[in-house]
Amino acid sequence: MYDVIILGSGPAGLTAALYTARAGKKTLIIGGDKLGGQTAGIAVLENYPGWKGTGMELTHFMKDQATSFGTEFAFASAKSVVGDGEHGFTISADDGKEYKSKVVIIATGASPRKLTIEGARELFGKGVSYCATCDGFFYNDRSVLVIGGGNSALNDALYLADLAKSVKIVYRGSAFTRAEQVLIDRVKSKNNVECIFNTELKSILQNPETQELIAKTMDNKELVCDGVFVAIGHEANTDFLSEDIKRDDMGRLAPADLPPGMFVAGDVHSNIKMQIATAVGTGCEAAIEAIGYINTRL
Residues designated as active site: 131, 134-135
- Distance (Å, rounded) from C-alpha 92 to C-alpha 73? 15
Q: Do residues 251 and 233 touch, judged by C-beta distance below 8 A?
A: no
- Distance (Å, rounded) from C-alpha 11 to C-alpha 17? 10
- Distance (Å, rounded) from C-alpha 146 to C-alpha 231? 7
Torsion-angle region of 39 (φ positive above 0: left; ψ -120 to 50: alpha; else: beta): alpha
- Distance (Å, rounded) from C-alpha 212 to C-alpha 205? 9
- Distance (Å, rounded) from C-alpha 207 to C-alpha 213? 6
- Distance (Å, rounded) from C-alpha 126 to C-alpha 200? 21
